[in-house]
């Protein structure tokens, strides 16, 4: 069975979203287990994750929607190297995950600056604040790239196997 370009794009997207969904489920379950077993984690989870989401739901909803759009676009482009250029799926998938996390980094940075400048009247707009904000993002860039590379390293193998099996 040969796969045409349109169905290949959708196939790649479905598989990438399936694996991202599995990741979200695993992280949620691990967080819940830590929440039940480690009392100190309760406060940390509430302060760092739940409280910001509950106080600014629109901001985090926009981030989630932007993440899904970014993933949709990049996962659709991955198939060009796999199906049109007949490459092994590993490297296009690996690079695709790094691109996803780089795009998420840029999106998060831009949304954070927009949120602070446009909607937070307490934030002082001066050169030093801008410099420190940019420095903070420059320091966190390697973390985003490390997450993308790690996820790409592991997921590229699994997704590549599934794509190869379904391509036949």
Rounded to 10 deg, the angle between the 5-37 and 127-167 helix axes is 120
Position 9 confidence tier, pLDDT thresholds 50, 70, 90: low
Q: Tell me, what's the pLDDT at 125? A: 66
Neighbouring residues of 19: CB distance < 8 A, sequence distance ≥ 6:
155, 158, 159
Contact indicator for 106, 55 with CB cutoff of 8 Å: no
| Structural tokens at position 121 | 């009247």
Contact indicator for 98, 145 with CB cutoff of 8 Å: yes
Average pLDDT of span 87-101: 88
Task: Compute the distance between CA of residue 81 and CA of residue 127 in angstroms, rounded to an integer.
Answer: 43
User: Helix H segments across the chain?
Assistant: 5-37, 39-45, 51-55, 57-79, 90-114, 127-167
**Could you read off the pLDDT of 104-115 as tens digits, one per residue?**
999 988 888 777
Confidence check: pLDDT of 37 > 60 = yes
Confidence check: pLDDT of 120 > 70 = no
Higher-confidence position of 151 and 85 = 151
Higher-confidence position of 95 and 119 = 95
- State percent of the chain over pLDDT 90: 23
**Domain ranges across the chain:** 5-167
Q: Tell me, what's the pLDDT at 69? A: 94
153: left (phi over 0), alpha (psi -120 to 50) or beta: alpha
Confidence check: pLDDT of 131 > 60 = yes
Task: Compute the distance between CA of residue 62 and CA of residue 96 in angstroms, rounded to an integer.
Answer: 22
């Amino acid at each position: 069975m040969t796969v045409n370009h349109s169905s290949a794009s959708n196939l790649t997207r479905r598989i990438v979203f399936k694996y991202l969904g599995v990741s979200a489920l695993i992280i949620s379950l691990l967080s819940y287990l830590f929440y039940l077993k480690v009392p100190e984690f309760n406060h940390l989870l509430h302060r760092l994750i739940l409280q910001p989401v509950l106080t600014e739901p629109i901001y985090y909803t926009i981030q989630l929607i932007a993440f899904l759009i970014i993933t949709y676009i990049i996962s659709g482009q991955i198939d060009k190297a796999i199906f049109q250029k007949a490459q092994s799926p590993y490297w296009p998938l690996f690079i695709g995950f790094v691109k996803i996390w780089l795009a998420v980094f840029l999106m998060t940075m831009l949304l954070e600056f927009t949120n602070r400048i446009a909607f937070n009247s307490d934030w002082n707009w001066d050169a030093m604040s801008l410099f420190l904000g940019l420095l903070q993002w420059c320091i966190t860039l390697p973390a985003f790239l490390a997450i993308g590379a790690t996820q790409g390293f592991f997921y590229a193998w699994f997704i590549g196997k599934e794509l190869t099996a379904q391509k036949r």
